[in-house]
Amino acid sequence: MGQLPPHLELQRSRVSCNKDAPIHTERIQYFGAYASMGIDNSSRLDRFSNNFRVEVVRLNEDDMEFDMIGIDAAIANSFRGILIAECKRGSPHITVKSDALKWLPNGSELVKETRNAASDSSSKPETYTYFGCSQETIPEFVKNPIIPKYPDIIIAKLGPGQEIELEAHAVKGIGKTHAKWSPVATAWYRMLPELRIDYIEDDLAEELKSKCPVNVFDIEDLGKGRRRATVARPRACTLCRECIRGDDWEKRVALRHVKDHFISLPPEILFTEAVKILEDKCERVITELS
């Protein structure tokens, strides 16, 4: 298969960010868009399988940052939506055996207090049954108890003589029912920034470095008092466009985004679960169409 001219390939694969507005933001989907030049622009499964890859950039206990390369923005956005709204989260159901129950010393039936003084004293009092179960009695939680992730979170402040009486139920749900079940505080994606700069030296290099608020650029010492600007941290670019503001800077710096390269930030296990959910959705659609 042939290749597109450089300027058309740039329009097809990159979003160019000018100081007033981005251009070439749309993704060309029509399979015959470049047929006159002998280029097949159709979406093919084998081509997607060969080009798509996932590269983990950062992984720790709290979050995961990875790149999805060779994927359409619609699919990347589907993962984001599934992570926020469709991954089930909540405390698991616990089966408690009878020998693990701890009864109150006064017996299992306790009389409910009533505030209605005019109630019939001859009627049978309303009672309730109480039992408690500690995590220490369940082997699964002895070494790994259910506790808050961060123990220093203030839930409530009590004054002298105050107390809290509560009844807690563990319910498993999904984020589209209520935000309290969303398993991710933040799940986002963005296109990979790409910066190209001319040979910028000395005072202009220092000026370019100082223009960027997130230190994307750095200075390379060439010796003999000469300095050159380099792109040191392109992933840190927030598209603030400060580097292309001012006289002639838009000619010196090319600020772009790669259309099929997405940086994403969800937790590790949740992303795997989101992939399975999207796979199930695709299978349901295929079944309905067949």
Decide if 250 is inside a domain.
yes
Decide if 159 is inside a domain.
no
C-alpha to C-alpha distance for 50 and 94, rounded to whole angstroms:
45
Decide if 160 is inside a domain.
no
Q: In the structure, what pLDDT confidence band is assigned to residue 118 with cuts at 50, 70 and 90?
A: low
Both 97 and 234 in one domain: the answer is: no
For the cut 50, the answer to whether the pLDDT of residue 185 exceeds it is yes
**Bridge partners, 193 (sequence order):** 257
Residue type, 11: Q
Both 180 and 269 in one domain: the answer is: yes
Q: What is the pLDDT of residues 229-241, one digit of tens each?
A: 999 998 888 888 8
Count of structural domains within the chain: 3
Both 226 and 259 in one domain: the answer is: yes
Decide if 98 is inside a domain.
yes
Which residues make Cβ contacts (< 8 Å) with residue 254, sequence separation at least 6? 16, 195, 196, 197
Instruction: Please give the pLDDT value at position 217.
Output: 92
Nearest to 15 by CA among 65, 81, 73, 78: 73
Decide if 270 is inside a domain.
yes
Asked which of 34-43, 69-78, 118-127, 131-140 is least confident by mean pLDDT, the reply is: 118-127
Both 61 and 86 in one domain: the answer is: no
Both 203 and 250 in one domain: the answer is: yes
Q: In the structure, what pLDDT confidence band is assigned to residue 119 with cuts at 50, 70 and 90?
A: low
Both 270 and 178 in one domain: the answer is: yes
Both 260 and 272 in one domain: the answer is: no
Query: What is the residue-averaged pLDDT of the chain?
Result: 78
Both 224 and 245 in one domain: the answer is: yes
Nearest to 83 by CA among 102, 66, 98, 100: 66
Instruction: Please give the pLDDT value at position 131.
Output: 53
Residue 148, domain extent: 92-113+124-153
DSSP state of 89: B
Q: What is the pLDDT of residues 239-276, one digit of tens each?
A: 888 888 888 888 888 888 888 888 876 666 777 888 88
For the cut 80, the answer to whether the pLDDT of residue 113 exceeds it is no
Both 247 and 276 in one domain: the answer is: no
Q: What is the pLDDT of residues 150-173, one digit of tens each?
A: 777 777 787 887 777 766 677 778
Which residues make Cβ contacts (< 8 Å) with residue 258, sequence separation at least 6? 13, 14, 191, 192, 194
Residue 55's φ and ψ, nearest 5 degrees, are -120, 120
